Chain A
Amino acid sequence: MTARTVLQPADITRALTRISHEILESNRGGSDLVILGIPTRGVSLARRIGTILEGIEPGSGTVGSLDVTMYRDDLAGQPTRAPSPTQMPKGGIDGKTVVLVDDVLYSGRTIRAALDALGDHGRPRAVRLAVLVDRGHRQLPIRADFVGKNLPTSSDERIRVRLLETDGIEEVTIES
């Protein structure tokens, strides 16, 4: 098995900064924005984006988490998964622009589950998707609005995202 690093810590930081600016640009400012990370690593990324947004426009960095375990379509046939916490921000999501944040976008099924989960929490005005890595191979008609890096891969390759908060180091590698 060979592993090559495709994103160094500095690349990750730059990508998140660019994504944060793109979010503000497309939203025409920071009002009514809610950044929801999908556990596990999406939550760390969402928090970082929130911090960056706060630095650019104070009051724009409202952050939460959205666990999608209960909405997955592949629960049977796998070992039982323990859910992670869902934390909705105080103002809720009704009428807000929700930006979902995940580390890797692949088949799109996680995001489909996230849209279902979101629907049970309220009715956002709009839902956007920000991902650190888009590796292609979509199985559903889902697309990301904000992408850190496009990484075309073959399906027998594996993308590994490691972040300081969860893994102690910072890098994105492709293993084959």
Chain B
Amino acid sequence: MTNDSNSMLITGATLPDGTVTDLIVAGGVIAEIGRGLSSADATVIDADGLTALPGLVDLHTHLREPGFEQSETVLTGSRAAAIGGFTAVFAMANTSPVSDTAGVVEQVASLGARHGYVTVRPIGAVTVGLAGEKLSEIGAMAQSRANVGVFSDDGHCVSDALLMRRALEYVKTFDGVIAQHAQEPRLTEGAQMNEGALSGELGLAGWPAVAEESIIARDVLLAQHVGARLHICHVSTAGSVDVIRWAKARGITVTAEVTPHHLLLSEDLIRSYDTRYKVNPPLRRNEDVLALREGLADGTIDIVATDHAPHPLEAKECAWAEAANGMVGLESALSVVHAAVVESGQLDWNDVARVLSSKPAEIGRLAGYSTPFAVGNIANFTLYNAAASRTFGTEHLHGKGVNSPYLATTLPGQVIATIHDGYATVLDGVLVDAAEVASKARAYRG
């Protein structure tokens, strides 16, 4: 690792535990932590009033490249992540070609490294082509330069019970984890929104909660039976939280994630048929939102993951049934989590650091995030102005997608700076230029 040419002195930052401190970043690592620090030729970042959080890690992002570059690319997705305070993202496998071979995952990883905004860890598909029939080359992907540790057919459920069993067993060989998109396909054919009182009124086919809960129930029992790690993507119902709580109480090695939008938004918004609210799994009832918040607070749900899902305009500018599922979420995630569970006091900033950084890194076996703000750690952190408030608009989106449900709403907080591998990707609330970031990344890699 070669020296980067500028070091940084961050003054007056408030750590998650509340202590105010200075930081010196040099040579890619946190060189010093303390009060009243100085450094001769360092760039000074005044972090007075700003909350320093460890670099956020998103265990569930869709970067769309290769194959769907009209929606997003590794570059634009990485930039969206950086402005959201993220320094690492795990990129889902539903690309084209599907990320089911070493070749594709190595390509995605190397694009991420070249652009340099965030560490991109590709997720490998569980089954070839996401078709749910044969296991993909899990071993090859795990041992590739992409170092894949998370496997998911997200977008599709691994619904065949035997195949799920085999996948759970096989992945143990490589200390991997299967991340399940829990959706029983036969109960959700043509589904458009949560099945309930509102779907009946609006005339939209329902996606019943039991279709998610029954898969989770099955999979936690399978995981217990074969002694494997299981991760549940985008938990969305109160019943799912109950099942996971039950499973953890029995010592089953299951982890779970919730999206920011499921912590904040409920299905009532769909009365307008506004397609920005169409997502899979769908927005649910208020009772589900409250149960998810409690689940996150008591640790039943381990992490927050964005499920950032950009789409081109024409995929949303149509009637509800024709619209694509998905919301962009990288740029707004921290603010939404702030609004949903920090303002209420259910989570403090230490908890935020855990659910958005150290725990997702642990699940994905990403090194360097377990002890944030320790001297000698590679410098990955973000400076967040928790006191800010903004009317969220398209000017705050930096990926290709504008399908955000938060446009024209007021959200708290704003990321002011993000440091990735010792260099800044965001400064003064603005993304650092791509050429400069790429060159810093090159220098860092040596």
Q: Are A and B in contact, CB atoms below 8 Å, in the complex? A: no
